[in-house]
Structures are given as C-alpha cells and as structure tokens.
Amino acid sequence: MARLPIVTLPDPVLRQVSAAIERVDPDLLKLADDMLETMYAAPGIGLAAIQVGVPRRLLVLDVAGDDEPRQPMTFINPEIVSLGSEKRVYEEGCLSIPDVRVEIERPAALTVRYTDRDGVRRELTADGLLATAIQHEMDHLDGRLIIDFLSRLKRDIVVRKFKKVARG
C-alpha cells in the first residue's frame, strides 16, 4: 500500500464529476487500499477517489472511534436510494480543504446502494456520522465541496485564502 497525495483547494480537479467504474479489478482494489492508507494517515474518516486525483466513483470510509478497531468500508459506484426526513447538523471538515470546518445540515439517515470489493451489489441503511460521511464523500463524486454550503462571501474568502497559499 502507498500513501497518495491529497488534492487540495483551489485545484479544479475537485470540481470534476467522477465517472462510473466498469469493473472491480486488482488495480481498483489497490487504489482503494492506497486511499484507505492515505485517509488513516491524514487522519480522516473518508476519502473520495477524486481527492487523490482519480475521477472515478469510488470512496472509502471508516467512522470507528479512536479506541475502536478499524472498520474500513469501500463503496464503488454508490447511489443514494433514499434519504431520511429528519435532519442533523454536523461540523464537517475536509482533507482537501485543511483547517476549514463548516456546519452543514443533512438528512440524518439514508440508504445507499453500491458495489463492494467483491463486485457484489449491496444496500446499506446508515444514520448518524456514517450517513453524514457518506453524503460528504458522495458530494465529492459530483464535484461539490463543503464550502458550497457557505454563503458566497464566506466561500470566496476561503477560496482566496487557498489560492494565496497555492501561489506560495
């Protein structure tokens, strides 16, 4: 396994819509494993392939607490089947936008359909932090970022800050 460089704002690759994955093969599984290693090292609880420069519909998650054993999850071509009606506000961070936290209201529960590492189509019903993390990472697959939930003024301030850092 290898740690991959994480793409950060203002890189335009983060705004790309990711393409569907045609098949589960050893290269895809290696990418998923490398993404997990990268996510754990960052540290984070989720990572979408686009965040390591690969515009494919793949994401990895692990919402286990620090004192719990790791519970890595791999989602290939995830699609939301249903969203719960109850909302939850959570302060989200993003490995592609370091040191920025945004309070976001999202559905507290969802059902997601995806392909697992064995190529099997599955459905998962999730709530709480796992539901939030799935929605956050799926946003990445469609080119959406947490700053899109901010007012235009606040979003522009964050983007300007990251452009200035990128210029060095």
Residue 168 has pLDDT above 90, yes or no: no
pLDDT at residue number 142:
98
pLDDT for residue 66: 86
Planar angle of CA 26, 59, 131, nearest 5 degrees: 145
Q: Which CATH architecture has domain 12-167?
A: Alpha-Beta Complex (3.90)
pLDDT in tens, 22-43: 999 999 999 999 999 999 999 9
Record the pTM.
0.96
Strand 121-127 relative to strand 46-48: parallel, antiparallel, unpaired?
unpaired
Query: Exposure of 45 by Cβ count < 10 A (0-12 exposed, 13-18 middle, 19+ buried)?
Result: buried
pLDDT exceeding 90 applies to what percent of the chain? 96
In whole angstroms, how far apart are CA 119 and each of 21, 23, 25, 114, 124?
11, 8, 9, 9, 15
pLDDT of residue 50 exceeding 90, the answer is: yes
Judge whether 86 counts as a catalytic residue.
no
- Locate the domains of the chain by residue range: 12-167
Q: Tell me the chain's radius of gyration from C-alpha atoms.
A: 16
